[in-house]
Amino acid sequence: MRANKIQAIADNAYGTVLESGAVRFERLLPGPIERVWAYLVEGEKRATWFCGGDAEPRTGGKLDLFFMHSRITGERPPESARKMNDEGWLSGGTVTAFEPPHRFAFNWVGMGEPDSDIEFVLSQAGNKVRLVLTHRRLVTKDRMAMVSSGWHLHLGLLEDRLLGQPPRGFWSAHEALKAEYVERQRDVG
């Protein structure tokens, strides 16, 4: 019975395809909600699990997304990601919703064509915080798998930060997880 429960928990970690080009993740995180919010919107805290960069705290504000994965993992990246890992990569967007501490959304420019839309929604769930992440306008299956595996890993790192645990592996799991998302999403739209 315990093995089935562990597998059910692991299966809940995967993103769910909502419609063609959209994926949704849900996590229960340790609170309080204001702390989780800070890890979404404050660049220095966001840099510890996803990417850094400033966010103007208002709808219509400018958002910088500075990726430097050497800040989130000590693992060496594959050759294809080495420059971004070591030197960083800047993209950005526009804040499309800023409703502390419940909703943060933005249009992400520069990740591919077309631009994509990301929304984080936070709510209380007992003594935990429910985070729902939705990423839309992912136009190819390869992009959907890449983004899904990336969010899966980044959200795991966020959980590690909030729990005060050492960060789990990133690059060591990325390719296998991307392949798994390709398989999971094979029959979708």
Q: Cα-atom radius of gyration of the chain, to the nearest Å? A: 16
Looking up tokens 């409703």 gives: 99
108 vs 189: CA distance, rounded Å: 23
- 44 vs 84: which has the higher pLDDT: 44
Q: Rounded to an integer, what distance in angstroms lies between the CA atom of residue 189 and that of residue 183?
A: 13
Sign of CA dihedral 31, 32, 34, 35: negative
Backbone φ, ψ for residue 109 (5° rounding): -100, 135
Cis, bond preceding 166 (omega within 30 deg of 0): no
User: What pLDDT sits at residue 10?
Assistant: 52
Task: Say if residue 6's pLDDT is above 60.
Answer: no
Distance CA 108, CA 66 (A): 12
At residue 150, the pLDDT reads 95
Q: What is the pLDDT of residue 9?
A: 42
Q: How confident is the model at residue 173 (pLDDT cuts 50, 70, 90)?
A: very high
